[in-house]
Structure 1
């Protein structure tokens, strides 16, 4: 973890300093794009199948922002900029860029890139896409630092920001900043939900909700044709069943294996276990619109009552780390100042101070993932010890998202990926008062001081000043406790040994461009 932590920190620091420069900085394309496979085609399968625990929420990249959606539509669409496996920024649909000032960025778009319908990508598509993302109630937080997008000519755009914004370039790598075809979406604004058309390495074929999605290789992809003709995503909610599917050859790749299956996969001579540092944190959000969660003493009490180390040790088998913040240690801006540690007696004391010496009843919402359910059951048991009676409500993933967006929960169990490796990507949607509901603030907290420090961290390009703002922010978050950080997870993926070219990406957005499966 330390090695990647250093890599990400250095990469982000460089990005931040670069974003703060006045002059220009031009980036060139990689020399290794479009390499051909050495293995003869006859020795390879024409399909790679991967399994994940939840289904796509939407194939429209400006709606479906959750990881299970991005794993699919991220193969269909591209962004202006991209990242490599170490989270370094690399060219995407923009072959180069210049920083004109601390609020203005010029992007030179690749010529000859085609959407899957054969139409050519132009600057108009880029402007339309970023404007559309800014207008989306689901993903606007990713791009709402943008003031406007100017079309200079067919292959040049200038992105102007409202204020200096340190993570500008990193945010433009996010899959929800995807570039979509203007002509198609203007004709039918709903088109991408069921039949997405992008410029990516794979074209959409079919999606059967709750079961699978199928994609076909784009032979005209600008980085070179994918090495495997078809990619199929299968929905297998239970982690144990994903392991079985991997062992039996039903799937070639399985995401997010159960912690107690990791050693079994690692020891299987036909399989490989890939592990890596994650940008994910897991936590509870307390609905501050519901009593008694409007009382910060109650929220603090629950945090004291939860023994996260037991969760890590018994349910994750040590494959995690107790969290004091929802910013992972590998991300820029991590500032753990939290002083709340497991203390059952302190929890009881705070409940009594809040007027609930005998506890109360509450709901805890979670989606239908077996490990997550088991974690919530442990939390249920721990809270019972301080008098809080918790009903664990298990919902299908899309229903869970919709219900908690609407604020139907008392508490909700969530995971969040700091996809850009920059704290603003998480702080802003989870805590800012303008981001209630779908963007991420499902605690519905509205606190002027929280907003103040988040906004300070957004507009300064000085890394040291940003860290000071985030330290002050974390101190307030400890006091207000709208969220209970639980643990940081690790990325794990199981694959057949017949799989080649698959790389673990810290944000979990794994590419299939160069993946092959031997027969």
Structure 2
């Protein structure tokens, strides 16, 4: 683990270069060369699911962040030299191991022309802490003080190593106090931020349109309009890219990657991912309240087959929900495929003839196919699985409310620090919307997560995570399946687009030739 800190710093710097903090100091995107030498005034990108909410303190799923991350800014971000750098805060200092002072820029305007002040910062962080969706990202904060119009002091409950890193997250974005207090619901569908792009229109299930903020404190973006288009079918996203309907397509199907890479008119961009994919067992429901059943399901799933057949080898079997490139990763022994062991465990649990269960998944074709493979594998040990396919927002809502027996989920360790994932997925205070959709409530699990949160000692944190994974492996509230790669297809006329491991791709420097 001697290289852990270096790898952590490297990945963090790459993954957290968020959309909101471009500046004139950034290198401009090279001019794309079209037949007439001109640039399009609109760049269109396609993704597989719609935003769940444009409110950054609610819409924490990647499809939402891809949009509202262009509209809002956090206090700080990171640069390409692996340092946390200014964003809305022009500077900061650590007053003690539990207190940070942030000096707010004096030239920041919200999209309605009103000035951003320290009051907005305090309001926003307080609001994020109170949110049942994103509180896990900022609830290390004890309180936020307004020292003067452009200065805030953030006090933490205990020393918390990832403090600055967590504050770079899009869900720690700063919103307008005046606007949000006047109409709390408006931010969900008509967001007004400080970011490089302004909201124009959202047609649910179809698209979101944004317009360049010409008064952005970091300078105007390179392209006037950016449109996010919802295309659930991966194959249809590839076709849309081939025909020129879209300029950029996210999350291509594995069997389409060669089609894109071999097309002279297109480019395939791939990168290391901070995401893991897994089943969450609803431990409120029988028989998944029995750990022997959960273990049996894990032994019955052949994840390597999923990687080989559905991902075409573009992935790696996972033993944990923490990706190997994140700080805190433990090389956990995997549940190797063993059908006979699975049957034995079911018999011990009192289900020798199996049972019926529902597996929830959102309407993404590749994810559906993965669940169908799991359905087939579990049938071999007597578990009859109904795959329930739901639109993404409905899928999230229903699993938040524990309507599933099993759910197929992905999670991105966006801060490249394990606390970002362990806390919401496993801590007993985070049931439902924050991420704990297995509804595990284990005092020892809570203890190790909390111990790792309140120390800046990296070695001590890793020891706690090692103990934590020992319990998780036994209790099996989730079945880790695989880690994938980030892939994006673009027209070869697109310039300035960079793949981010967290999937929060920025459009500040992106252009496309006519």
Cα deviation per residue 1:125-172 (whole Å; 9 max; x = unaligned)?
Answer: 000000010111111111011000111111111100011111111110
Contact 1:430/1:439 (8 A) holds in 2: yes
Cα deviation per residue 1:184-238 (whole Å; 9 max; x = unaligned)?
Answer: 0111111101110000000000000000000000001111100000000000000
Residue 236 of structure 1: aligned partner? 231
Residue 106 of structure 1: aligned partner? 101
Classify the secondary structure of the residue corresponding to 2:441.
Answer: coil
Residue 25 of structure 1: aligned partner? none
- What is the CA–CA distance in structure 1 between the aligned matches of 2:23 and 2:202, rounded to whole Å? 33
CA shift for structure 1 position 10 = 3.8
Residue 381 of structure 1: aligned partner? 376
Question: Relative to structure 1, is the Cα distance of residues 493 and 13 closer, same or farther in structure 2, using a 3 angstrom cutoff?
Answer: closer
Q: 1:344 aligns with which of 323, 339, 348?
A: 339
Residue 418 of structure 1: aligned partner? 413
- What is the CA–CA distance in structure 2 between the aligned matches of 1:34 and 1:267, rounded to whole Å? 29
- What is the CA–CA distance in structure 2 between the aligned matches of 1:309 and 1:478, rounded to whole Å? 19
Residue 274 of structure 2: aligned partner? 279
Question: Relative to structure 1, is the Cα distance of residues 100 and 36 closer, same or farther in structure 2, using a 3 angstrom cutoff?
Answer: same
Residue 448 of structure 1: aligned partner? 443
- What is the CA–CA distance in structure 1 between the aligned matches of 2:290 and 2:83, rounded to whole Å? 42
- What is the CA–CA distance in structure 1 between the aligned matches of 2:214 and 2:28, rounded to whole Å? 13
Written as runs of structure 1 = structure 2, the 5 A alignment for 1:316-355 is 316-355=311-350
CA shift for structure 1 position 245 = 0.2
Question: Relative to structure 1, is the Cα distance of residues 147 and 203 closer, same or farther in structure 2, using a 3 angstrom cutoff?
Answer: same
Q: 1:134 aligns with which of 111, 129, 147?
A: 129
Contact 1:433/1:441 (8 A) holds in 2: yes
Classify the secondary structure of the residue corresponding to 1:361.
Answer: strand
Contact 1:204/1:216 (8 A) holds in 2: yes
Classify the secondary structure of the residue corresponding to 1:269.
Answer: coil
Residue 460 of structure 2: aligned partner? 465
CA shift for structure 1 position 337 = 2.2
1:257 lines up with 2:257 in the alignment = no
1:215 lines up with 2:210 in the alignment = yes
Contact 2:4/2:327 (8 A) holds in 1: no
- What is the CA–CA distance in structure 2 between the aligned matches of 1:339 and 1:381, rounded to whole Å? 21
Classify the secondary structure of the residue corresponding to 1:371.
Answer: helix
Aligned-residue CA RMSD in angstroms? 2.0
Cα deviation per residue 1:218-268 (whole Å; 9 max; x = unaligned)?
Answer: 001111100000000000000000000000000000000000000110010
Contact 2:12/2:416 (8 A) holds in 1: no
Question: Relative to structure 1, is the Cα distance of residues 358 and 88 closer, same or farther in structure 2, using a 3 angstrom cutoff?
Answer: farther
1:44 lines up with 2:43 in the alignment = no
After TM superposition, the score normalised by the length of structure 1 is 0.94
Contact 1:49/1:234 (8 A) holds in 2: yes
- What is the CA–CA distance in structure 2 between the aligned matches of 1:480 and 1:500, rounded to whole Å? 47
Residue 437 of structure 1: aligned partner? 432
What is the count of residue pairs matched by the alignment?
Answer: 504
Unaligned ranges ≥5, structure 1: 15-28
Q: 1:32 aligns with which of 3, 8, 25?
A: 25
Contact 1:453/1:472 (8 A) holds in 2: yes
Question: Relative to structure 1, is the Cα distance of residues 479 and 85 closer, same or farther in structure 2, using a 3 angstrom cutoff?
Answer: farther
- What is the CA–CA distance in structure 2 between the aligned matches of 1:36 and 1:276, rounded to whole Å? 20
1:9 lines up with 2:4 in the alignment = no
Written as runs of structure 1 = structure 2, the 5 A alignment for 1:490-501 is 490-501=485-496
Unaligned ranges ≥5, structure 2: 14-21
Contact 1:51/1:251 (8 A) holds in 2: yes
Classify the secondary structure of the residue corresponding to 2:340.
Answer: helix
